[in-house]
Chain A
Amino acid sequence: MKIEYVRTTCPYCGCGCEMLLETVDGRITQTLPSKTNPMNQGKLCIKGWNVHEFVQSPRRLTRPLLKKDGVLQEASWDEALNFTASRLQEIKTKHGGDSMAFLSSAKCSNEENYLFQKFCRVGFGTNNVDHCARL
């Protein structure tokens, strides 16, 4: 049995509480507050204490889904990626880059947000990128 404690940051509100995810053989068993972080000082709220529950929910998406005959169906990564790339190419060629819009995410990391806006601005020559800061 392998037990590990991984220090990370809570994904709920903007407080930025640090926490330890306790894992046993590759599954999170509990969430503990970081005692050294000056922000949360060993405390978490009810959402933070239970953060591992949604992570390991059986309802998580595990395979790409592609709409076939009007219904979303499981597909391979290759199929989903190739379909996406070709549709994006078609729209860009036919209607121009400004006909695409990109919604970035306040739930994703800085690295992911950076890449996403770069993909939009460089790939399509448009600034049509926004996220839910206002919502």
Chain B
Amino acid sequence: MTNSIPEIEDADCIFIIGSNTSVAHPLIASRIYKAKAKGAKIIVADPRRIHVTSVADIHVRQKLGSDVALINGVMNVILSKGLHDKAFIEERTEGFEKLEQTLKNYPPEKASEITGVSPEDIEKIAIAFASSDKSTILYAMGITQHSHGVDNVKSLANLSMLTGKIGKPSCGVNPLRGQNNVQGACDMGGLPNVYPAYQVVTDENNRKKFEELWNTQLSSKVGFTIMEMMHGLEDGSIKGMVILGENPAGSDPDVKHVKHALEEAEFLAVIDIFLTDTAKIADVVFPGASFAEKDGTFSNTERNVLRIRKAINPPGEARPDWQIICDISTRFGLPMTYESPEEIFEEIALVTPSYAGLNYARLENGPIPWPCPTNDHPGTPILHKDRFTRGRGLFHALEYRPPEELADEEFPILLTTGRFFPHYHTGTMTHNSITLENEMSEGYIEIHPYDAKDIGLTSGENCKIVSRRGEVITKAVITDIVEPGTIFMSFHFMEANANVLTNPALDPICKIPEYKVCAVRVEKLEESNTPEIKAVISA
């Protein structure tokens, strides 16, 4: 996030797009409600009638994957009404002329044709966002998990810069991170193209610096992303894999294919706290420690670095994961002799400029947001205040591109995926929590009454969902949360996992898979099953 979470409640306008906030980030949703109570305008752009739409002043249901056209349409109106921030554009940005040119192709009527959102609503969004003093954008995987996810994010950055709503309190472009430490894993260089603090591996100076620090020779070649690793296992270029606390056999698109790839590995080691579907395939599984059984730090979605502290011992012979990595590395012939997570953190601060001023003693007083370059620096809750990281903010002139897979005769319905409130990701943790499992012990699809009627489904009845990748059987819940022609499903339930169906088409730049749109067919099962009536009217 460019801004901090508490700032959200003081915004005058909150534009939520591709984030089911109350389900995936409940404590951020509570800030939205507070802002609403203080008089903020709430705009929600989401194909589903999610819970947060109940406080929305404007809710639009754009067609799946049409976000670039929607935002371009909004920006077209902002320009034509002269609501853009001319001073900000002049002083802080570049590339405006090209953007202006491209936006001419997206008058509200044209954007409406692509998105299914009325020209009036597009205009309303433009006026509300641009004419409010403090306007903030909140987004999540509904924006990123597309074959044009990078374009979607850049479009939101365009909107924010065009209206000068960045680098100021309660403004900004704010991705809501779905996992506790996805920010930290990126910061620490858990990525194939960068060392810690996003220092690119192809830059010779960066490489030399890390070669000196680590006393080694490093590769100048960008590594494989997760999906490329899976392809590598299949074509034989990858022989072995070590997986730390992840479950790609449940979380990756087209899981049938992923499981097959993992089985191809000559050697697969997994470190985890449960025997996940991925661990079941491994040659060796090491029992790790949960967050409650070790010291360390997490970095949350607002870049706050927070301590975790050991409360209890790990069960049985389980060990903290950092110790397991040290043990493997040492026996492999690369001795790692760290005594504690604090000692590791001291090395992190040494090689990570944005963490340079952080240490455990300082974090004892509470979280500090990076960048925090020196010991007396208070941390940075708001990014891009006086300048952007690259100097001037760059506008990207972007054209709408449709999703890779569209509905056709054979697969006439679009599937989109997400989370349900009591569960989390592949359910490794939440299915092992009795309270949460009691809230929801099986998955289902949400299907609109019109489609259910066409297919002949009753609410609660099992049905079969088929895509080009595979098929699953699960319950149908008939609801107007989804629009006709669209179904929704989660990937929490391994016995009926949406990722059997999802499309592994990738964004060409960041290689994110298109989880949010794929074409499916819903079939009534031939064998009759006793329907269990479950009334779900709306979110």
Which residues of chain A have a CB within 8 Å of any CB of chain B?
A: 4, 6-18, 21, 23, 26-28, 36-40, 43-47, 49-57, 59-67, 72, 75, 77, 80-85, 87-89, 91, 94-95, 97-123, 125-135
Contact = CB atoms under 8 A, between A and B. Distances in A.
A59 B186 contact: no
A49 to B, nearest CB: 8
Interface stretch (B52-60, B318-326, B389-397, B525-533): B318-326
Contact of B27 (A45, A95, A100, A125): A45
Nearest to B247: A132
B306 interface: yes
B194 to A, nearest CB: 9
B190 A116 contact: yes
B219 A14 contact: no
Contacts of B127: none
24 contacts: A11-B291, A11-B429, A13-B179, A14-B182, A15-B26, A16-B300, A62-B316, A65-B279, A80-B284, A88-B332, A99-B238, A104-B185, A105-B181, A108-B288, A109-B291, A109-B341, A110-B297, A111-B297, A113-B181, A116-B244, A127-B192, A127-B193, A127-B221, A130-B190
Interface in B285-319: 285-288, 290-294, 296-302, 304-313, 315-319
B245 interface: yes
A111 B176 CA distance: 22
B190 A53 contact: no
Interface string B220-255: 011111100100110001111111111010011000
Given A47-B422, A61-B275, A100 B241 contact: yes
A87 to B, nearest CB: 4
A50 B318 CA distance: 22
Contact of A16 (B345, B348, B367, B511): B367
B536 interface: no
Contacts of B274: 57, 59-61
B125 to A, nearest CB: 26
A36 to B, nearest CB: 7
Given A131-B185, A133-B186, A134-B226, A26 B328 contact: no
Contact of A113 (B27, B185, B332): B185
B372 interface: no
A119 to B, nearest CB: 5
Top 3 A-B pairs ranked by shortest CB distance?
A62-B316, A16-B300, A14-B177
Given A8-B307, A84-B284, A112 B244 contact: yes
Contact of B191 (A88, A99, A111, A133): A133
Given A47-B422, A113-B184, 14 more contacts: A13-B177, A13-B179, A16-B298, A53-B434, A53-B436, A55-B290, A57-B433, A88-B242, A100-B239, A103-B226, A107-B179, A107-B181, A112-B325, A131-B226
B282 A91 contact: no
Contacts of A125: 216-219
* B interface, size bucket: 35 or more
A33 B316 CA distance: 28
Nearest to A34: B366
A124 to B, nearest CB: 9
B180 A132 contact: no
Contacts of A135: 226, 248, 251-252, 513, 515
Contacts of A61: 272-275, 279, 285, 287-288, 318
Contacts of B302: 16, 39
A103 B333 contact: no
A63 B287 CA distance: 6
A57 B274 CA distance: 9
Contacts of A7: 307, 309
B291 A9 contact: yes
B450 interface: no
B436 A14 contact: no
Nearest to B316: A62
Contacts of A38: 6, 366
Contacts of A59: 274-275, 432
Contacts of B442: none
A2 to B, nearest CB: 12
B336 interface: yes
Given A72-B282, A114-B196, A37 B366 contact: yes
B27 A15 contact: yes
B367 to A, nearest CB: 7
